[in-house]
Amino acid sequence: MKFESIVNEASACHTEVECEELLMKIRWSNGFHCPRCDHHEAFQIQTRRLLECKECRMQISTTAGTIMHKSKLPLLTWFRAIQMLFEFGAEVTAYALSATLQINYRSAKLLLQKISYALQVEENRLLAFRKLKAARSEEVKPKISVPNVKVNIRDQFEFSTYLASRISEINRKLLLKSLVSIHLYTTFLKCFQL
């Protein structure tokens, strides 16, 4: 799900309950899965924004693993701040955010920093995917100089298989390195993954 579609859906939310339902829909689009036991059914605790797994009884917050985790601000405020950042971009300051949302300046500054960091992480993640795709599509040309020595057909075959195995090994290492860096970048916004 892309940020633009999330912002469009978030603009339709007018109550805290609607924001909570949207966040649950974004996080668990394929249905709830417990992070501990991977069970797919949960009770919803109405007094606190929690889900309790029916199997292992683990309680999971709807905001856990997101930039909204352990925030005392309402979800409606978070969604409005994200919407403002998408509408006005870099022109939004902490002072303007605090005046518009009617919150404390320090809260608005922290809100702005967290959302900006999450957007930067997502951009880095997308850039890494693009680099990986470009690296896969272009051919890796070996830069090995072969001396002018007569070799028979059997030696050529062994040399070509050796080169092919080395190139595939380099591609595997590049792929592994890219995937590890991509997964290490995703510290926030697990609910906004593409």
Model confidence, pTM: 0.62
Mind listing the pLDDT tens digit for each residue in 41-64?
998 888 877 889 999 999 988 888
CA distances 101 to 7, 43, 54, 170, Å, are: 17, 33, 38, 51
Please report, for the chain, the start and end positions of each structural domain, with discontinuous segments joined by +.
Answer: 67-192
Helix, coil or strand: residue 154:
helix
Residues 6+ apart with CB under 8 A from 4: 86
Mind listing the pLDDT tens digit for each residue in 148-186?
545 444 444 565 666 566 666 666 666 555 555 554 444
